[in-house]
Every structure is written in C-alpha cells, then in structure tokens.
Amino acid sequence: MAGKVYLVGAGPGDPRLITIKGKECIEKADVVVYDRLASPRLLKWMKQGAEKVYVGKLPDRHTMKQEEINQLLVDLALRGKTVVRLKGGDPTIFGRVGEEAEQLYRNGIAFEIVPGITSSISVPAYAGIPVTHRGIASSLSIITGHESPDKLDHMIQWDKVTNATGTLIFMMGVAKIGYISRQLIAHGRPPETPVALVRWGTRAEQDTITGTLADIEEVVKAADFKPPAVIIVGEVVLKRQLLKWAEQLPLFGKRILVTRARNQASQLVRQIEELGGEPYEFPVIDTVMPTSTQVLADIHQAMNNLSQYNWVFFTSVNGVEFFFRHLNELGKDIRALAGARIAAVGPATAGALRERGITAEVLKERFQAEGIIDAFGSELKAGQHVLLPRGDLGRNWLPEELTRMGLHVTDIKTYETILCGEDDDELLKLFEEGGIHAVTFTSSSTVTNLLRVLERMGKDAQAPLRLLRDSAIACIGPLTAETAKAAGLNVSIMAEEATIDSLVEALCAWNKDEPRRRKD
C-alpha cells in the first residue's frame, strides 16, 4: 500500500514559526526530505528511527535536481512511507510545490499541501518593515528575482509591475539587485525609493542593509552581502527605524548551544528565545534511575528509616525529582519527612520541593555545597543524622566535611548521570563556520561530556578545542568553570549566582558588550 506525502511549509527559519499542523506532520513522518532553507532544529521533532534526506540547493550547485526530488517523493511513498517534504517559507510561493504535487498526482500518491508562513512577509516583519502600512502602501507584489536578466524580462512585465503596488517584494534576487534597480527606475520608480535587503531573516544570522534604488547595488557590494535574502522596495522601508523590534532584544544575533539534559533545558531554551537568541539544543547528559542492586538497596534502607534523620539536604532539582520517585515506589509520602529540617541549595531546588508540598530552608548565597556549612554550620551538631539524596557524580566535599564535624551522613545516589549526544553534522558545520556564538555549561558533567562527544564526532583528540575556539564559554558557577578551564577552554561568561536566571543575565551582558550586527 502506498504511503502519503505532506508538502509542508517550514516557515522562514525560526522553528517556532512553523504551523502546528506542520509540526504534527514532522512528528509522524517516516522520512523527512528537506533543504537548507528549513531550520535543522525542526528535525529534532522527528520520531526515533525516522530517515532524513537532504536535497538542498546552493547558488553554485544543486544537491539534487528538481525532477529527481519529484521522483524521490514518489519512490518513498510507493514503499509505504509517510513522507514530509519540508520546504522553506510557504511551499506555494516560489517553492515549486506544484511540480512535486503534480508528479504525486500522476502516480496516484495521496498528498496534502500544508501552508507555511512565507518569508516574503515574515522576514521584513522581523527587520521592522511592515509590507503594508496605512497611508503608505495598501498593496504588495511578490516577485521572483532569482532568474537571469533575460528570464526576468520574460517573466516580469516591468512596465506594469513597477508601479502596480506600493510595496515590491523580490525573492532570492541579491545577485540581480543592480539589474532590478535599474529596471524599476527605468519604468518610473524614483531613484530615491527606499530599499532594504534582509538576509537569513528570523535566524541568528539575520542581517539588514538599506539604501535607495540609486545606490543599493553599491551598498550590497560594499557589505559583501550574500544570499539568501528578501528585497523590499517601497516607502515602508522607512518604518524600520521605528519598528526594528527584533534587533533591540538582548540576545539578538546569537546562537547559543544548550548542553544540559533535555528534561531540564526548557527554562534556559525559553529564556534565550524570549530574549531574541537562537538556542541550539544538544543535550550531552541524561539522568536515569540507578540499576545497581547495592545502590538500590542503600536507597531503600534510607527511605525506610526517614524518621531518624535530623537534616535532609537537597543539592539539585534532579536530587528532588529522583528522591520522590523512590519515595513513591516504596508507597511513602512527605509525611515521612515530618521530623527533619529540609534545606535546598538554590531557588530552583527549593521550587522543585515547593511543587511537592515542602517549603524548604533556602541558602541566601553560595548556591553550592559549601553554602550549607555557611548557612547552618552553627546548628549542625555532632551526633545528628543527615541524609544527602543526590547523583552519582556529586562531590565528596560535603559528606566528608559533615562527617568531620561529627554528624552521621547517609549519602544515597538516587540517580545516575549518563553520557548522551548523537552525532550531529549540522552542529559540526555550525562550529566550523563560527555559527555557535556561545556554549552554555550548567554542570561539570556537561563540560566533560560535550568534549567527549565532540572528540568522537570530530574523530580527533584535538577536535573539541578546535571546534570551540570561536565560541564564548558560559558557565553557571565556579566549579563548572574550573572544569572547563582545566580542559583548556577559555571561560569568558560567568553567572554571578549558580542559577539559570543569572546565567542568562550574564549572556545578555556579554552580547551588549560584543555587538555583532551593523547599525543602519
């Protein structure tokens, strides 16, 4: 039985701008056929085992001819596959979706066209240019600028197009900008008509230049401005000075690697996005339940004797989550902790406890193990019993210090931290091209594991340091920074407090000090 093909518009680049239906199609696809104008982050939604096929085109070479792409979709569907053809922007606007759909129709293959947000309107919007504006432009034309001058003249009736609408949008016309400008002037547009070119709109590489029909060709040459870009011609371009909202965001222009476990990354990813940055999720650690019989026996023994503890110190959100998993498995609840004082290292850990009905004592500063001694040292008495529910990579300093003070310490490893991180060719490419502007580390294990994964992917012991040489290194605290420095990394961004909020604030301060975008 033949499969089905979904011809899906991926939107302009920011993966959040894909439609809900487009995302659902990716999630259920057996195969995703994509090109370079579709964000690679969209592929993270593919189900495990799904196949991805790159058919992207570059200005100087084609990976696969359009006719071959058409036949590929047919062949995949005839094998019973659910196929997504992921196309940048909207597939019906210069996306050649009609050719692909016709080939599917002729071969009896079921298909759907899933519209996307076209870059012809969204990219200008991200540059602060509304394509229509009351009193300035009440209509617009979307025109291809990709062809040779001869083809452009054949396809475009310059005498009619030039003044047909208030705003003219040319797609993929950077290389022909001089010819386009001269034709528009020759057919009646004033030479002083404002023009803008927006490159890689909605992405970290978004860049905008402005000029007039008379000088835009020289502006493009002087800036060495490369495709892909959208060209906007018309008075609406002047609104950019007031409306360029995206470029005012604190992390605009920065692609930031997030290495923490996927189940913990959402807060950091969300804040980066809200502040105008582009997060690239590449979790290199995962946390799992212990498998060792002895470790599980130690946990169960501690859980069955919770009433004996005077103190329970939670040092991380993971420590809280896995502690309560074990507690639930044994049929117990928070009443078992009634006799203990409960303290949390950091506000995030305290928040995780609060969600479970426990208001913990929170360290006011030094959100690490040493802060426990600073905060409670005078109240920690010899002979008291302390429970430390934490992971297998926890430092020995705290249990050793408590033992030295005469307390009885039960240090249970409620979870294990394991290495993860699949080979990611797109990430390697971004590193090589300087496209990862900052790398965030939220624990020592994220440092060591990223270096191990990069060494494996780069097939070279020196690969990690080489790949990371152009990226700013951002650490959540001094212990993580020490690990990074010991590995040979140059730490340039440090959170004042060991919290995600503080790390994001440090990233914003760094971006403010090191702007990378031209101002026009």
Q: Which pair of tokens denotes residue 133? A: 């504006």
- Cα separation, 148 vs 3, in Å, equals 38
| Order of strands across the sheet that contains 31-34 | 51-54, 31-34, 82-87, 4-9, 110-114
172 is catalytic: yes
Going by C-alpha positions, the residue among 344, 275, 277, 342 that lies closest to residue 311 is 342
The answer to whether 200 touches 263, Cβ cutoff 8 Å, is no
- For residue 450, CA distances in Å to 272, 285, 503 come to 20, 9, 18
225 — phi, psi (to 5°)?
-80, 125
Instruction: Provide the Cα torsion 379, 385, 391, 395; round to 10°.
Output: 60
Strands (E), 360-437: 361-362, 385-391, 408-419
Considering the candidates 14, 30, 35, 90, report the single residue annotated as catalytic: 35
**Three-class SS of residue 177?**
helix
Considering the candidates 21, 23, 44, 57, report the single residue annotated as catalytic: 57
Bridging pattern class, strands 229-233 and 194-199: antiparallel
Considering the candidates 172, 176, 303, 424, report the single residue annotated as catalytic: 172
Q: Residue 47 has what DSSP assignment?
A: P
90 is catalytic: no
- Cα separation, 107 vs 70, in Å, equals 11
Neighbours of 330 (CB within 10 A): 14
Burial of 339 (0-12, 13-18, 19+ CB in 10 A): exposed
Q: Which pair of tokens denotes residue 303? A: 């859980």
| Active-site residue list | 35, 57, 172
